[in-house]
Amino acid sequence: MPLTICTAQLNYVVGDMPGNARRIIDAARQAYALGARLVVTPELSICGYAAEDLFLRPAFIAACDDAVAAVARELAGLKGLHVVVGHPSGGDMRSRSVQVQQRHNAASVLREGRVVARYAKRELPNYQVFDERRYFTPGSEAVVFEIEGVRLALLVCEDAWFDEPVEHACAAGAQVLVVTNASPFHAGKGGERLARMGARARKAGLPLLYAHLVGGQDEVVFDGGSFAVGADGALAARAPAFAEDLFMVQAETDSRGSVHVSGAVAEAPADEAELWHALVLGVRDYVGKNGFPGVLLGLSGGIDSALVLAVAVDALGPQAVRAVMMPSPYTADISCIDAREMAQRLGVRYDEIAIAPMFEAFREALAGEFAGLTEDTTEENLQARIRGVLLMAMSNKFGSIVLTTGNKSEMATGYCTLYGDMAGGFAVIKDLLKTRVFQLARWRNRHDPYGRGANPIPERIITRPPSAELRPDQTDQDSLPPYEVLDAILERYMEEDQDLDAIAAAGYERAVVERVARLIRINEYKRRQAPVGIRVTHRSFGKDWRYPITGRFRP
């Protein structure tokens, strides 16, 4: 008889140890009824990933210990069931003593009320969004346990990317590698994972089960898509991406003692689809897990706010989304027309608040101070800041969180107003370059992944030249290089760390490259004050990007 293994690919909440434990218990009981005798949960499933400096608090570790004990106790009556739970381990569970030097990122095997094995993660990542060496000490021992004649080795996430932990597992007699994971999403990451784990399985000559997390946590998104590969590295089973799932895999031993894995294979989403699902999941979980009743945003008639509105409606439904148009003296009539049409298409509440009277009041109040000076970006920024004040006032009054609408190109170059269009609580497209914004808008008009209606974005919003509409006849390209050029330079400089010489040698005008680099450098102070936003590339402005505001190095 084959061994049935279930991956509980669930959406856990950081710090909700009782809730996470309950989800694991319920999933394990359901999987057991379906024949599973091993249930695997993702990395740090008991406490959620990542709990950051909560790991430094003894009370947090103790609460995790209590939750592990609760899972073991409540599943004690399910004979033969093994459950792998991820949790921080900080010392002796009985004495509750927490030794900082011994805090581990652990995975424990529970069976019939007891912890029968415990593995400590060996390879602690400390790059991109990862900071695990701040919190954990690496383990050193292999852990292999047996169920119905099948010997399974535990690995935690990064361990499977390195030779030594796998070699030790093989030496300890493993027949199957079980890898628990919390691997943040970025575009293309799913294919990279599958390729690396396939290569790892081939080198070890063993099948591999990759048990992954799903859900949004602040700026990161976990995309699910747990999978199994055979000893030849070929895909044998895959769970759906961006969705909870009890993912079942059959592990069958042949007459030679080799184990073969199999299961259903869900289709992987295409490039634009996975980006869209990541944004939707990021919004849904940030709003839902933080208890906001809904969202509101300033709808300008431009492409960025249009895309954010479409994402918000797909994530939350139209009843939880409110759009506010705040025309200034420079707002084109067609911007109002397009904004109204889009709000109508998506069925959201739409309001208009003209800011001209407030703008004039500000100018009048400042007239004495600014006497003899020409109007410039000061007056442009006043309009953006009036809008920010209005949106935040509505947020305070009604409890909805303000979604900001700035994209990565703007955040990089400072083409945004501090305390204006940057005012809000969650930056949905903060990690999308402007060219990608256009691509996703066109994709969403062709597809309706959540049943909210096709073609939500009026075509004119996509085809009009982008403009902040803060002065007569303004377009973005008055202040910035063409987005095709700007975004290509940003990808090379910011995401790939290429130097200016290399970028210029690739065919970009040196003066433009230097200008873009300077804009990135001088606008770091703005980005430090920007709301948290969804990470969808391998290098975002957030945990991935840690540059000084004050400094004299000129790359």
For 114-144, the pLDDT digits (tens) are 999 999 999 998 888 888 989 999 999 999 9
Per-residue model confidence (pLDDT) at position 423? 96
The whole-angstrom separation of Cα 288 and Cα 294 is: 9
The whole-angstrom separation of Cα 486 and Cα 389 is: 30
The one catalytic residue in 6, 64, 157, 170 is: 157
Q: How far is CA 553 from CA 35, 225, 519, 547, in A?
A: 61, 42, 14, 11
Specify the residue for token string 């790892």: 200
The whole-angstrom separation of Cα 378 and Cα 308 is: 27
The one catalytic residue in 6, 47, 64, 121 is: 121
At 308-333, the pLDDT tens digits run 999 999 999 999 999 999 999 888 88
Per-residue model confidence (pLDDT) at position 97? 44
Beta-carbon contacts of residue 21 (< 8 Å; ≥ 6 apart): 46, 67, 68, 70, 71
Whether the predicted pLDDT of 467 surpasses 70: no
Whether the predicted pLDDT of 86 surpasses 70: yes
Lowest average pLDDT, out of 14-23, 395-404, 463-472, 477-486, goes to 463-472
In this structure, are residues 275 and 318 in contact, taking their beta carbons and an 8 Å threshold?
no
| 273 sits in which H/E element | helix 271-289
| High-pLDDT (> 70) share of the chain, % | 96
The whole-angstrom separation of Cα 298 and Cα 444 is: 20
In this structure, are residues 141 and 147 in contact, taking their beta carbons and an 8 Å threshold?
no
Per-residue model confidence (pLDDT) at position 477? 67
Q: How far is CA 373 from CA 206, 301, 330, 469, 471, in A?
A: 74, 31, 20, 22, 17
Whether the predicted pLDDT of 400 surpasses 80: yes
75: helix, strand or coil? coil
| 261 sits in which H/E element | strand 259-262
Cis link prior to 266 (omega < 30° from 0)? Answer: no
The whole-angstrom separation of Cα 395 and Cα 389 is: 10
Query: Does the annotation count 434 as an active-site position?
Result: no
Q: How confident is the model at residue 479 (pLDDT cuts 50, 70, 90)?
A: confident
User: What are 215's strand-pairing partners?
Assistant: 222
Query: What's the burial of 366, exposed, middle or buried (CB within 10 Å: 0-12/13-18/19+)?
Result: middle
Whether the predicted pLDDT of 20 surpasses 70: yes
In this structure, are residues 181 and 227 in contact, taking their beta carbons and an 8 Å threshold?
no
430: helix, strand or coil? coil
Per-residue model confidence (pLDDT) at position 198? 97
Whether the predicted pLDDT of 201 surpasses 70: yes
Query: Does the annotation count 157 as an active-site position?
Result: yes
Per-residue model confidence (pLDDT) at position 369? 95
**Residue type at 449 in one-letter notation:** P
The residue ranges of DSSP E strands in 90-140, in sequence order, are 104-111, 114-120
Query: Mean pLDDT across the chain, nearest whole number?
Result: 93
Q: How confident is the model at residue 468 (pLDDT cuts 50, 70, 90)?
A: low
At 216-239, the pLDDT tens digits run 999 999 999 999 999 999 999 999
- In this structure, how many other beta carbons lie within 10 angstroms of the beta carbon of residue 440? 21
- What the block records as the tokens of 211 is 């048990």
Per-residue model confidence (pLDDT) at position 102? 83
Picking from 200, 229, 295, 307, the residue whose alpha carbon sits closest to that of residue 536 is 307
What is the CA angle 156-162-166, rounded to 5?
Answer: 70
Whether the predicted pLDDT of 100 surpasses 50: no
Whether the predicted pLDDT of 101 surpasses 80: no
Specify the residue for token string 């004649």: 149
Per-residue model confidence (pLDDT) at position 465? 75
- What the block records as the tokens of 185 is 């999403």
In this structure, are residues 26 and 163 in contact, taking their beta carbons and an 8 Å threshold?
no
Q: How far is CA 372 from CA 25, 367, 379, 447, 471, in A?
A: 72, 9, 14, 54, 19
Whether the predicted pLDDT of 92 surpasses 70: no
Query: What's the burial of 497, exposed, middle or buried (CB within 10 Å: 0-12/13-18/19+)?
Result: exposed
Query: Does the annotation count 509 as an active-site position?
Result: no
The one catalytic residue in 6, 43, 289, 434 is: 43
pTM over 0.85: yes
The whole-angstrom separation of Cα 428 and Cα 435 is: 16
User: What are 401's strand-pairing partners?
Assistant: 295
- What the block records as the tokens of 292 is 């906001």
The whole-angstrom separation of Cα 247 and Cα 239 is: 6
**What is the sign of the dihedral through the CA atoms of 435, 439, 442 and 445?**
negative
